[in-house]
A and B are shown apart, each in its own frame.
Chain A
Amino acid sequence: MIKNVKFLFYFLLLNILCFGCKKKEATQISFYYWNTIFNIDKTEQNYLDTLKVKEVYVRFFDIIKENGRIKPNAQIDFGKKTFSPVIIPVVFIENAVFKNISETELNGLIKHLAKEVQFIYTKTQKGLPKEIQFDCDWTKTTAKAYFNFLEKFKANQPNILLSATIRLHQIKYFEQTGVPKIDKGVLMYYSTGNPLDFSDKNAILDNEIAKNYIKNIGNYPIKLDIALPIFSWAIVKNEFDETRLISGVKSIDLKDTVFFKPLEKHFFLVKKSNYLNGLYLYQGQRIKLETIEPADLMIAVKNIKKYYPNKVDKIIFYNLDGINFDNISTTDLVQISNSI
């Protein structure tokens, strides 16, 4: 009898230990897509399949202000392509759009924008989008108008989940910068500096700088997904101290010693004039390369985990482009998302 009770006890204990803890739901992986011509190549598709990506955040168009007129710009061209992950439309809006915007302009913008999103969406997807995301680096003077826009848009489209990007400074100083009334935010955990400073700091993501912006993230009143960078770029400086940004430059692009000479860490000299990603570089100009390594992102998620008490449902990597995958494998991305 005692033997049976003992057996039962240990059996129950074993079950509790094995099954008592609730299995943690994995953080979803997603991507931003920011090209104007929609074209997913084999590498990109492979990443989507391997990582079981369900949703891709696709920039549909920008809203800009030109000669006093608010208008869309650079609408995406889907062509005749079909696409299986769900597309979530993203619209970037210049901060200037909301400066002194009138009620009429705001209402007109909401009306046109909704129709434009729907028009483009139906080129590749059926029905209505389940989520729409806005990307705007609002300031103190435009906060009221932008937040008003978001509220009115939501009222206009109540069944669509409304999300918006939140930048690091809008977390740290949220009491001053305000918090939009949205269903969900995406923290852009990058752009920690000005690349044109041409300093030795990595303007894409400097973890020491970034972590200082999220110490109070626990107080942020809305749920956040996290956006992390996987892109790289180069900054070129000429004799007049002018600088230019060249997106998509990787270290392999600067390996040819006929054209480039490595100087100190991340800095190169143009040895022979040549085109680099569309910009003509002249002999003698200096280049600074900024990249993101998987290790940088591991530190980033470690810091986020330290300060953000809530579960992160989704990491959205910026951005889905084959050139960004030379440096970071699917294994790396899984490891990063599992670490948050």
Chain B
Amino acid sequence: MRKIIFCFVIFIILTGKLMACSWYDPDEEYYNLFDQHLLADKSLTPFLLTYGSQYYGQSYYGDKEVEEIDYNIKEWSNFFDKKIVDADLNYLVYESSNSELSKILATNSFSKAPSELQHAEFLIGKGRESLEYLIFAKKCEQWAILGQNDDWSYNRKKMDKPTFMATAKIGNLLFDKTKDKDLKVRIAYQLVRLSHYAGFNDDAVRYFNTYMEPIGLKNLIYFYALEQKGGALFNQNKFAEAAYTFVKVFENTPDRKISCYNSFRISSDLHFSDALKLCKTNDEKASLYAMRGYQNFSNALKEMENIYAIAPNSNKMELLAIRDINKAERELMELGVNYGEDPKFLIFSPPLKAYMKKMILFSEKVISEKKVKRLDFWNTYLAHLYFLNQQYEQSQNACKSIVTEDKAIKEQAKRTEFSAYLANLKFISSAEESLIFNHFMNKITEDEQQFMYELLGHKYLEQKDYAKAFLCHNEVNSLYPNHDLKIIEALFDFVEKPSKNKLEAKLLGDKLGDEKHALNVLNDLKGTYFLFTEDFIDALIYFRKVPSNFKILDNYTRYNYNTGVDEVIEGFDGFGKISGRIFSAAVRSYFEDTEENALTDLTYKEPQFSFIKEKMNKLQLVETIIKLQELSIQKGEIGAKANYLLANYFFNTTNAGYYRNIPYYEPGNYNIYTYYNISPEPLKEIEKLYNFNGFGYRVTPKYGFETPFKLYILAEELSTNQEFKAKSVFMAAKCEVELFFLKEEDTPYELSYWGKPSKLYSDFNRPMFAKLYSNYSKTKFITEVKTNCSYYRYYLAAKK
């Protein structure tokens, strides 16, 4: 129900792209190359483009870019000729009580007052009047903040007319009595505000017109009061007048711009044109157009054209221009370019392309007519538009011709020029790499750096320089979830290449470390590739090149549910410390359990398998596997058990196995973040990627339950021992259930929490359970199965 209004409210205010989740900042999701802070009028900073919060500088993470100044205190400071420090003024205005102030007035002495109020200024002339004013202001304050803390209307105090009249009367008398003009302005402000917040809009307007205006002082407080009048006008349905009023306050206050923009609500052509008619100057008209142009959905270019026609030097022009180019950057240079079917980077949609052309034409006109003051800004702006529009040579030429003393504009021009140069390169040879390296060594922004890698990675991939393309974005651990042989071999060639240039040396040093270490890493990776394609002879070749003490991973901590303590576990270190239990099994094992509890079968410890070490590195693992394979062709119990142990190894290194971390180079088997990235869809071929950014998220799922299944069945056939046979069949059943779920497209309703899994526990789908039941029900092992395997119990129940 609420969805309709929810949509209306949210989508009227925000863009369709805004996603204000606490973990996601849309302002970090693109490469920002055009510096929004080139804006000349810094007071407009809150209106720079942001999708991460309502106004620029108000990020959810608390770091504010806009400095908060209390302009009210600044006014008080000037009022007292800067003779009183801000801390004391703060106390005077916000914290002092009426009784403290009244006492000073009554006794004409501040000796018993808090130290902050001990100023001679308060005892004479305008100082005394200021205390009288503040007593009145604090009386009004309680009504002004009504509703701010009382969310619930049933709880809310409301100012009735008699209370309002009585309070206003005090103000009227004080206004007549007070001589100082600044204070009269403040009293008038309180009366306007009081009236507005109490809902007496006619009185608010009247007070402004008859009390405030005749004073003739248009300081900051005057405009604060004018804002209140704007609110009252709006409540009187005088929308055009209200809008015009808010525009005036916006222009004349440093700290009310956001609230004025929030209050600016024009909803018809008639009201807008009426508001325009009220404007006395072209600058005011320009501000009106700008207010309409600030809205995220607006066509900023159209409003710039409106403004340029009447007030070409309006400070709003740059703001709207910067917002527009920032929007274009968000469209063209989004992070995560590889996500989605059809990656687009620096490619416009047709409507945006047409809009970009108009932006360029307009900017060219602005420059050629020379009506604007900051031509250097507009030249830089145009150069960047050319870059975004893929007019790279034009962009570079435009940058070269910019004449400026402004440091920020110079930096921008350099950034745009190099970006255009890089984007325009058809091929990257050593000559280009030299220039690119030099640019990296300049003081460039993080966004520019990453943008350069984004483009470089793409161009290297296009010219089939896979190693450099990979290293633009990745360290070697990006290959751990997916041991891509093409890239591994390309990296070998790259590392072994003699006489690397500076950029190549940088890529190697930044991402792979020194050559020796890099080669160890790559040999281990290539060996691992062959290990998991079951080419054990090839795996041996590469593992033999890795030092026996080679390691990649550190120890990890695991929470012990029994002791309630985090324990440091010496797990798999990337190459070594692989437990001999990789050849073990159990009826039921939990990933969180210790190895000893999770894998209890001790077949691997029998004397004929004494070559299986307690802890192995990958080389020793492969040697052990090869030995077991040799034994597995024997008949009888040795052959059976060798097959069984091999099956255990294969099962334990699948995604369902206790050692599932080993293929992915993870130290422990739970909280494997790699698993979050397993895609059910086949991975795109690497040649079809834009570049290798995010390569580490390409995860090859490790299933392969067919191999252990076959070996368990073979083990059963070769053995004559009923207990051992039962064990083998049970382990085959474990493979069987994994294969079952891999076949099913979605988890069917019957297998869901609310369903009855009759399909899963049929003989048709669980022939291994059927075999256990029919052939091995009398074994001791089956008791363990019935105790520890709920699936088998459900199967038995389904048979009844």
Cβ-defined contact, A238 with B299, below 8 A? yes
Taking A241-B352, A245-B11 as contacts, is the C-beta distance between A92 and B299 under 8 angstroms? no
B136-164, CB < 8 A from A: 151-155
Cβ-defined contact, B297 with A242, below 8 A? yes
- In the bound complex, how far is the Cα of B351 from the Cα of A318, in angstroms? 36
B301-357, CB < 8 A from A: 302, 327-328, 331, 349, 351-352, 354-355
Taking A112-B152, A120-B153, A196-B16 as contacts, is the C-beta distance between A165 and B352 under 8 angstroms? no
Instruction: Quote the shortest CB–CB distance from B262 to chain A (angstroms).
Output: 15
- Give chain A residues whose Cβ lies under 8 Å from the Cβ of B794: none
- Give chain A residues whose Cβ lies under 8 Å from the Cβ of B152: 71-72, 112, 115-116
Instruction: Quote the shortest CB–CB distance from B596 to chain A (angstroms).
Output: 37
Instruction: Quote the shortest CB–CB distance from A161 to chain B (angstroms).
Output: 18
Instruction: Quote the shortest CB–CB distance from B149 to chain A (angstroms).
Output: 10
Instruction: Quote the shortest CB–CB distance from A144 to chain B (angstroms).
Output: 15
**B373 contacts the other chain (CB 8 A):** no
Interface stretch among B174-182, B266-274, B412-420? B266-274
- Give chain B residues whose Cβ lies under 8 Å from the Cβ of A309: none
Interface stretch among A18-26, A45-53, A277-285, A331-339? A277-285
Nearest B-chain residue to A117, judged by Cβ: B154
User: At the interface, is chain B mostly helix, strand, loop or mixed?
Assistant: helix
Interface size on B, residues (CB 8 A): 39
**A273 contacts the other chain (CB 8 A):** yes
- Give chain B residues whose Cβ lies under 8 Å from the Cβ of A282: 298-299, 302
Instruction: Quote the shortest CB–CB distance from B154 to chain A (angstroms).
Output: 4
**B71 contacts the other chain (CB 8 A):** no
Interface-centre pick from A69, A136, A239 (highest chain B CB count, 10 A): A239
Cβ-defined contact, B299 with A242, below 8 A? no
B274-314, CB < 8 A from A: 292, 295-299, 302
**B1 contacts the other chain (CB 8 A):** yes
Taking A62-B2, A191-B4 as contacts, is the C-beta distance between A244 and B297 under 8 angstroms? yes
Cβ-defined contact, B351 with A239, below 8 A? yes
Of the residues A176, A195, A241, A275, contact of B267 by C-beta under 8 Å? A275
B738-752, CB < 8 A from A: 752
Nearest B-chain residue to A278, judged by Cβ: B267
Cβ-defined contact, B11 with A196, below 8 A? yes
Taking A196-B16, A244-B297, A280-B292 as contacts, is the C-beta distance between A239 and B2 under 8 angstroms? no
- Give chain A residues whose Cβ lies under 8 Å from the Cβ of B327: 240
**A29 contacts the other chain (CB 8 A):** no
User: At the interface, is chain A mostly helix, strand, loop or mixed?
Assistant: mixed
Instruction: Quote the shortest CB–CB distance from B751 to chain A (angstroms).
Output: 13
- Give chain A residues whose Cβ lies under 8 Å from the Cβ of B2: 62, 92, 94, 135-137
Nearest A-chain residue to B271, judged by Cβ: A275
Interface size on A, residues (CB 8 A): 52
Q: Per-position contact with B for A94-138: 1 when CB-CB < 8 Å, else 0?
A: 100000000000000000100110111000000000000001110
- Give chain B residues whose Cβ lies under 8 Å from the Cβ of A188: 1
**B12 contacts the other chain (CB 8 A):** yes
- Give chain B residues whose Cβ lies under 8 Å from the Cβ of A251: none
Taking A175-B754, A239-B354, A242-B296 as contacts, is the C-beta distance between A247 and B4 under 8 angstroms? yes
Cβ-defined contact, A318 with B1, below 8 A? yes
**B17 contacts the other chain (CB 8 A):** yes
Cβ-defined contact, B299 with A137, below 8 A? no
Instruction: Quote the shortest CB–CB distance from A3 to chain B (angstroms).
Output: 65
A294-322, CB < 8 A from B: 318
Q: Per-position contact with B for A21-35: 1 when CB-CB < 8 Å, else 0?
A: 000000000001010
**B5 contacts the other chain (CB 8 A):** yes
Cβ-defined contact, B1 with A242, below 8 A? no
- In the bound complex, how far is the Cα of B352 from the Cα of A241, in angstroms? 8
**B7 contacts the other chain (CB 8 A):** yes
- In the bound complex, how far is the Cα of B150 from the Cα of A72, in angstroms? 10
A176-225, CB < 8 A from B: 176, 188, 191, 195-196
Instruction: Quote the shortest CB–CB distance from A87 to chain B (angstroms).
Output: 16
- In the bound complex, how far is the Cα of B267 from the Cα of A175, in angstroms? 46
Cβ-defined contact, B153 with A72, below 8 A? yes
Instruction: Quote the shortest CB–CB distance from A202 to chain B (angstroms).
Output: 14
A48-101, CB < 8 A from B: 62, 69, 71-72, 75, 90, 92, 94
Of the residues B151, B267, B355, contact of A72 by C-beta under 8 Å? B151
Q: Per-position contact with A for B667-690: 1 when CB-CB < 8 Å, else 0?
A: 000000000000000000000000
Nearest B-chain residue to A247, judged by Cβ: B8
Nearest A-chain residue to B18, judged by Cβ: A242
**A287 contacts the other chain (CB 8 A):** no
Cβ-defined contact, A32 with B1, below 8 A? yes
Of the residues A116, A280, A283, A318, contact of B4 by C-beta under 8 Å? A318
Q: Per-position contact with B for A261-286: 1 when CB-CB < 8 Å, else 0?
A: 00000000000011101111011110
Taking A90-B1, A120-B153, A191-B3 as contacts, is the C-beta distance between A238 and B272 under 8 angstroms? no
Cβ-defined contact, A242 with B154, below 8 A? no
- In the bound complex, how far is the Cα of B6 from the Cα of A188, in angstroms? 15
Instruction: Quote the shortest CB–CB distance from A281 to chain B (angstroms).
Output: 9
Of the residues A32, A34, A244, A274, contact of B269 by C-beta under 8 Å? A274
Cβ-defined contact, A115 with B16, below 8 A? no
- In the bound complex, how far is the Cα of B752 from the Cα of A188, in angstroms? 27
A138-180, CB < 8 A from B: 165, 175-176
Q: Which 3 A-B pairs have the closest CB atoms?
A: A119-B154, A278-B267, A92-B2
A240-B327, A242-B16 given; name 8 further pairs at CB < 8 Å: A71-B151, A71-B152, A118-B154, A135-B2, A196-B7, A231-B4, A247-B8, A284-B299
18 CB contacts below 8 A, A to B, read: A34-B1, A34-B4, A71-B151, A71-B152, A92-B5, A115-B154, A119-B153, A176-B754, A191-B3, A239-B355, A242-B15, A244-B11, A245-B12, A247-B8, A273-B302, A275-B266, A275-B272, A279-B267
Interface residues, chain A, with chain B CB atoms under 8 Å away: 32, 34, 62, 69, 71-72, 75, 90, 92, 94, 112, 115-116, 118-120, 135-137, 165, 175-176, 188, 191, 195-196, 227, 231, 233, 236, 238-247, 273-275, 277-280, 282-285, 318
